[in-house]
Amino acid sequence: MKLLLKRILLVFAIIIVFLASVAAYSYYIEPDRLVVNEQNLIIPNWGAKLNNFKVVAISDVHGGSNFITEEKLRRLVELANAQNPDLIVLLGDYVSQVGRKDSDLKMPIETIARNLQGFKAKYGVYAIIGNHDWWFDERKVRSEFERIGINVLENEVAPIQVADETIYIWGIEDYWKNRRVPTQVLEQIPNKQNIIAITHNPDSLLKTPGEISLMIAGHTHGGQVKFPFYGAIAFVNDPRFMEGFVEVDGKNVFVTTGVGCSGPQIRFNVAPEIAVLNLFSKN
């Protein structure tokens, strides 16, 4: 009987140590990582002359969240620039709220913008607004980013000329704002080719026309916690749009797992990332 009791206590002790180790790793180790996730994507309606066009995608910085310090933000810029990108897109949720008050931030937006200054890409740096940003103050976030030279798009299209081809960057408002995808601006695109849609919430794909070549989004954090064998739980998004490159209804979206934390300040099996996307024509 005593031997059985000792074995039961030993099993409980092992379980407690294991859970404590996972908790410590999830709080102190994984959120402090920053990996480069490079992928080659074959996409439709994309000119063959644009093959190997390189996009760096960064989302959900959440300045002031666990391990997202000023130094980490500057490292983010350095690592992005080191990829020698053609284009950099920032996909929203730059701020992180304290508690339930949208106006109280863990890191001021002025500090976030100052430390994100210096992104360099051959054809520009473009950003959209995330739900945490408009919960706080969309106008202020936009103003601070534009002050440091980042182009913020809100239901706008920015054409960029690459040799004799034109790429159209379509910035779509955060889906949670009005549960819509305004498409009127697409009328200014003559041949509906080479369209990269950038937005915060990948659920926008469901209401986006099929002519786009690729949507790039964030918001999900990859679930922040990916359970062995089960995967991540989709708390804030359609489960089909959790992370990576997926095709739904004939349309392609890449969802980056982001950099910071929201809610529980932990990550497990979902490392913070910079996504590097090399684009190739499907035709």
Reported confidence tier of residue 262, pLDDT bands at 50, 70, 90:
very high
> SS3 of 9, please?
helix
List the chain domain ranges. Answer: 1-32, 34-281
> SS3 of 5, please?
helix
Reported confidence tier of residue 1, pLDDT bands at 50, 70, 90:
low
pLDDT at 12: 76
Element housing 56 (H / E): strand 53-58
Mean pLDDT across the chain: 94
In this predicted structure, the answer to whether residue 282 has a pLDDT above a threshold of 90 is: no
Q: Which residue has the tokens 């409980």?
A: 12
In this predicted structure, the answer to whether residue 6 has a pLDDT above a threshold of 90 is: no
Q: Which of 48-62, 91-105, 194-208 has the lowest mean pLDDT?
A: 91-105
Range 34-281: architecture per CATH: 4-Layer Sandwich (3.60)
In this predicted structure, the answer to whether residue 263 has a pLDDT above a threshold of 70 is: yes
DSSP string, 214-239: EEEE-SSGGGSBEETTTEE--SSS-G
pLDDT at 147: 97
In this predicted structure, the answer to whether residue 17 has a pLDDT above a threshold of 90 is: no
Q: Fill in the amino acid letter for 191.
A: N
Average pLDDT (249-256) is 96
Length reported for the chain? 283
pLDDT at 212: 96
Q: Which residue has the higher pLDDT, 7 or 211?
A: 211
User: How, if at all, do strands 251-255 and 244-248 pair?
Assistant: antiparallel
Please report, rounded to a whole number, the percentage of residues in the chain having pLDDT higher than 90. 83
Backbone φ and ψ for 38, nearest 5 degrees, come out as -100, 130
